[in-house]
Copies of this chain bind each other. A is one copy, B any other.
């Protein structure tokens, strides 16, 4: 039950858009965090560090909801339900630097902590609701 990322949504994911991800706490209650976001065209990619609450949450229950919105236009938005299908260190260091470039215009992620292990959460969208993302010619 995979949903396809449209060209308009892909474009938004490649911009420095705001992104919120909801995961499930051990007691089943929802938790939100705001994150940087990217895409490989098929998955939504979130970069985090090992041991964070949202990593522990998605290892227990991979079901997530994701909101991606243009900070300059609240009516240009995609809201996703899906699941984390992979958690990997592969490419994670490279991706966090790419995200630092996109969001901060810094060549290297400046908030790196000693011994921090960066990971990528790969989210497969199962349901996508879009507003205002029609492709511009």
A110 CB-CB contact with B under 8 Å: no
Q: Report how many copies the assembly holds.
A: 2
Instruction: Please indicate the chain B residues that have their CB under 8 angstroms from the CB of A30 in the complex.
Output: 22-24, 30, 63-65, 81
Closest CB in chain B relative to A93 CB, distance in Å: 22
A136 CB-CB contact with B under 8 Å: no
Closest CB in chain B relative to A47 CB, distance in Å: 15
**Residues in A39-91 with C-beta less than 8 Å from chain B:** 63-67, 69, 71-72, 74, 77, 79, 81
Contact indicator B71/A72 (Cβ below 8 Å)? yes
| Chain A contact residue count (CB 8 A cutoff) | 26
Instruction: Please indicate the chain B residues that have their CB under 8 angstroms from the CB of A103 in the complex.
Output: 74
* A72–B18 alpha-carbon span in the complex (Å): 11
Instruction: Please indicate the chain B residues that have their CB under 8 angstroms from the CB of A25 in the complex.
Output: 81
Contact indicator B20/A20 (Cβ below 8 Å)? yes
Residues 21-32 of chain A: 1 if any B CB is under 8 Å from the residue's CB, otherwise 0? 011110011111
Query: Interface centre among A18, A79, A81, by most B CB within 10 Å?
Result: A18
Closest CB in chain B relative to A131 CB, distance in Å: 9
